[in-house]
Structures are given as C-alpha cells and as structure tokens.
C-alpha cells in the first residue's frame, strides 16, 4: 500500500512513554544511514525547537527554511527528510498522537496549507528551553518512580500547550490550497467529532458530499493512507487516552467508543498497536 518507509515511534524508544526527546548541538556528526536520512513518513508528531544555526527540511516537495529561535512541527505521515544537526542545533521531540489533546491537534492540523515555522520571542524561547531541559532530565531518570510517567507526560503537556498557543491564529505564509488537502482537513475534523458514533468510510464520504472512492483517493494523495487507516488510527488514539487517563475496563472502553463487540475492539487494538490493551495500560502506568 505504501512504498515510502514509515518510521514507528515504538522503534525509537523502549520506555513505552509515547515520547522520544533529545538535544542536538550544531556541528555534531549525525547518522548517515540512508534509511534515516532519506524521504520517509512517521506515525507520530515531530517538534523542533531550534536554538542556533540555519537549515532546511523538505516536506511533501516543499522546502522549509529554518533557523535559530524557531518552532516547527511535522505531522504524522507527512513525507520529509531529516534536518542535519551539523547545520542547526536545538531540540527534537517525537510524540505519540494519543498524547496530544484534541484542542492542540485542532490547532496543529487545522491549517489547510503547509505549516510554517513560528519565530519565538526571547521569552518564549527561554521558557521552552527551560521546560525541555527539565523534561529531558526527568526523561533520563529512574523510571521505577511511581510518578515517573505522570511527571513526564505533565511536562510534555505543558510544552504542547505552549506550542499550540504559539500557532493558534498564526498562518505564516499562505499557500494555495488543493481540493485533496482541503478535503483531508475537513475529514480529520469530522472524524474527531463523529468517531464514537460512526466508523463507516462511506458515511464520512456522504457527510462530505463526495464518493467513498474519491475521499479515499484524496486522503491517499495527501497522507499516503486511505480512509479506513485514519479511522483505525483515531479509534486507537482515543482508546489509548481512555486506557491511560480513566479507570474504565477494556470492555467499558470498547462500549464507550461505540463497539458492541468488545472482543473485536481488542483485536483491532492489537492489530494497530502490536500489543494488547491491558499490556498498553500496564506499560504506561508502571
């Protein structure tokens, strides 16, 4: 279905936190593995807080210029190349989509054109640097602390809220919006609102006044994946939130998400995530 490599967050970190963070310094040698440097997609968000240097990143055939004092993010499934650390220094934060609130996702995913870099003021940059320094320090501490994951996720949430606040109402350079891009944005917004009551690709197409085939074709053109993929991903993301933040049983979560057969929900969760719902909850709450 997709011959562009898809990099999985679970392969980057074994901590089971849904997060990978690192600080890179301008001039440091970077990995030269073509599989890492070449064009690829990610199944997660990537954020950059750039401190110094000048660089660029190519996203879906568009070259975005970056420099110190900027904030930038890459959405799941956007085709891109890696920024070389020899050219720029700063912070790299990879985040599981399930850890990003619907309010923040609405900001990050709501633009109908390619997201543009946001230029910090001095106070915003200093605040992000201090927050990310603390997050990195806690990230490398002993994970046997019963409050370890909760603390990590609280710090991450603070960063995401700051980033969303920066981008809220910020448009950057307005680019021409294609019909597939517009339809993809409309579908994603509708999916978040309708997910618990509707999981039919045909119904989403009807609500958007297009055929199911055209909707799937538009989504594949923009994201590389069809309607069914995104419905499964959104179901799994919401399930992860409920497993982590609520005390509901797996059966109760299945019913909350609109599944009459909880065993089917469990099979779907394992198929998408590679682990059972119970194992996911135990890993994140250890």
Q: For 163-219, write each residue's pLDDT tens digit.
A: 999 988 665 544 456 788 788 888 888 887 788 888 999 999 999 999 999 999 999
Q: What is the mean pLDDT of the chain?
A: 84
Q: In the prediction, which pLDDT does 22 show? A: 92
Q: Write out the two tokens for 3.
A: 């011959």
User: CA 82: distance to chain centroid?
Assistant: 16
> How far is the C-alpha of 212 from the C-alpha of 223, rounded, in Å?
16
Helix (H, G, I), strand (E, B) or coil at 145: coil
Query: What is 6-167's CATH topology?
Result: Jelly Rolls (2.60.120)
pLDDT class for 240, splitting at 50, 70, 90?
A: confident
179-284 matches 6-167 in CATH topology = no
Could you state, in order of their start, the residue ranges of all structural domains in the chain?
6-167, 179-284
CB 225 within 8 A of CB 2: yes
Q: Which tens digits make up the pLDDT trace of 206-226? A: 999 999 999 999 998 888 889
Q: In the prediction, which pLDDT does 41 show? A: 80
Contacts of 62 (CB under 8 A, 6+ apart): 114, 175
Q: Which of 68-77, 87-96, 166-175 has the lowest mean pLDDT?
A: 166-175
Distances (CA, A) of 230 to 70, 172, 187, 199, 262: 30, 27, 10, 10, 20
Per-residue DSSP letters for 25-52? -TT------HHHHSSBEESSEEEEEEEE
Distances (CA, A) of 188 to 35, 102, 151, 271: 29, 11, 30, 22
Domain 179-284 in CATH: superfamily?
Answer: Homeodomain-like (1.10.10.60)
């Amino acid at each position: 279905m997709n011959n562009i490599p898809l990099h999985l967050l679970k392969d980057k970190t074994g901590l089971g936190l849904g997060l990978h963070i690192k600080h890179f310094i301008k001039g440091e040698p970077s990995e030269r593995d073509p599989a890492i440097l070449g064009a690829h997609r990610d199944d997660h968000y990537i954020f950059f807080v750039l401190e110094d240097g000048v660089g660029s990143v190519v996203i879906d055939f568009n070259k975005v210029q970056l420099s110190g004092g900027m904030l930038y993010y890459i959405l799941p499934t956007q085709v891109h190349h890696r920024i070389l650390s020899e050219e720029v220094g700063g912070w790299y934060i990879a985040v599981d989509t399930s850890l990003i609130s619907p309010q923040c996702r609405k900001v990050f995913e709501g633009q109908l054109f390619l997201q543009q870099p946001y230029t910090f003021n001095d106070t915003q940059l200093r605040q992000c640097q201090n927050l990310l320094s603390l997050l990195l320090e806690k990230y490398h501490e002993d994970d046997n602390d019963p409050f370890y994951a909760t603390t990590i996720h609280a710090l991450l949430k603070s960063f995401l809220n700051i980033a969303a606040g920066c981008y809220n109402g910020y448009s950057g350079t307005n680019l021409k919006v294609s019909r597939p891009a517009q339809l993809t944005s409309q579908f994603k917004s509708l999916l978040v609102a309708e997910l618990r009551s509707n999981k039919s690709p045909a119904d989403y197409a009807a609500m958007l006044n297009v055929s199911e085939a055209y909707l799937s074709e538009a989504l594949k053109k923009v994201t590389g994946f069809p309607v069914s993929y995104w419905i499964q991903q959104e179901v799994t993301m919401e399930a992860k939130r409920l497993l982590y933040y609520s005390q509901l049983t797996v059966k109760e979560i299945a019913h909350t998400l609109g599944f009459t057969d909880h065993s089917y929900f469990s099979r779907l969760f394992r198929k998408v995530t590679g682990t059972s719902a119970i194992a996911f909850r135990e890993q994140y709450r250890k």
